[in-house]
């Protein structure tokens, strides 16, 4: 097998593997790399229709990546809706994603009414669930669950609850804490600061 054939097989394998990715950003990146490799391979063996096909796929992936990255922090793209903790739809969302939630939040229990709950939506698709619990200080809330579905995990849509902090200050909160011991580069990007063994966000006061 020549080196050119190895390149062709590698590009094909990467293209197929990219389609197995559940995270949108990762799918597009790997699909783009596979398409670029196959452009080179098919140009080397002079199969021009396949060059054209992979050029088209590469262009589609570049556009999709641009759209994903351009709107990942766009408040017009995502909507945050507060729901009651006994809401049947919230219970359905948690139940559907329970195995994945338990994987990242093994101590979380959906059995306490003393919480606030927010759903983050992209159109009509639920992409995130955030739950907070008031602490002994009524002005301080602690994150109990910050879950993002697999498709959107690379895009961190949960940030919009914190960026639209009026939804939290309306409940009298002035500070948000993450659970103790959380490793959180995501939170540091949102303005949270290290505070002992957790992160803290100071909410603006109107």
For residues 110 and 140, membership in a common domain is answered with yes
pLDDT tens digits, residue range 127-178?
889 999 899 898 999 998 888 888 887 776 667 777 665 788 888 899 999 8
23 pLDDT higher than 90 = no
For residues 38 and 113, membership in a common domain is answered with no
Q: Pick from 115, 44, 125, 106: which is nearest to 86 by CA?
A: 115
For residues 90 and 108, membership in a common domain is answered with yes
Residues with Cβ within 8 Å of 85's Cβ and at least 6 positions away in sequence, in order, are: 112, 113, 115, 116, 117, 131
Q: What is the pTM of this model?
A: 0.74
pLDDT tens digits, residue range 36-67?
999 999 998 888 999 999 999 999 999 999 88
d(CA 83, CA 162) in angstroms, rounded, equals 16
79: helix, coil or strand?
A: strand
d(CA 151, CA 121) in angstroms, rounded, equals 13
For residues 119 and 140, membership in a common domain is answered with yes
For residue 102, report the phi and psi dihedrals to the nearest 5 degrees: -65, -30
Mean pLDDT of the chain: 85
pLDDT tens digits, residue range 66-95?
887 887 766 677 888 899 988 999 999 999
188 pLDDT higher than 80 = no
pLDDT tens digits, residue range 163-174?
665 788 888 899
For residues 9 and 66, membership in a common domain is answered with yes
For residues 45 and 9, membership in a common domain is answered with yes
For residues 90 and 67, membership in a common domain is answered with no
Range of the domain at 60: 3-71
Torsion of the alpha carbons at 178, 182, 183 and 187, rounded to the nearest 10: -10
d(CA 141, CA 201) in angstroms, rounded, equals 10
């Amino acid at each position: 097998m020549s080196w050119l054939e190895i390149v062709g097989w590698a590009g094909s394998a990467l293209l197929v593997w990219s389609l197995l990715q559940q995270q949108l950003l990762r799918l597009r990146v790997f699909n783009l790399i596979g398409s670029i490799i196959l452009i080179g391979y098919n140009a080397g063996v002079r199969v021009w229709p396949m060059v054209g096909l992979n050029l088209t796929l590469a262009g589609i992936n570049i556009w999709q990546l641009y759209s994903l990255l351009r709107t990942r922090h766009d408040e017009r793209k995502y909507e945050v809706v507060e729901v009651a903790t006994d809401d049947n739809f919230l219970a359905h969302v948690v139940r559907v994603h329970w195995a994945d939630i338990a994987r990242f939040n093994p101590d979380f229990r959906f059995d306490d009414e003393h919480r606030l709950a927010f759903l983050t939506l992209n159109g009509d698709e639920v992409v995130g669930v955030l739950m907070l619990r008031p602490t002994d200080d009524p002005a301080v809330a602690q994150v109990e669950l910050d879950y993002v579905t697999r498709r959107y995990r690379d895009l961190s849509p949960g940030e919009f609850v914190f960026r639209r902090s009026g939804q939290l200050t309306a409940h009298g909160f002035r500070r948000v804490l993450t659970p103790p011991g959380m490793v959180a580069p995501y939170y540091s990007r949102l303005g949270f600061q290290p505070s002992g063994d957790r992160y803290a966000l100071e909410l603006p006061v109107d």
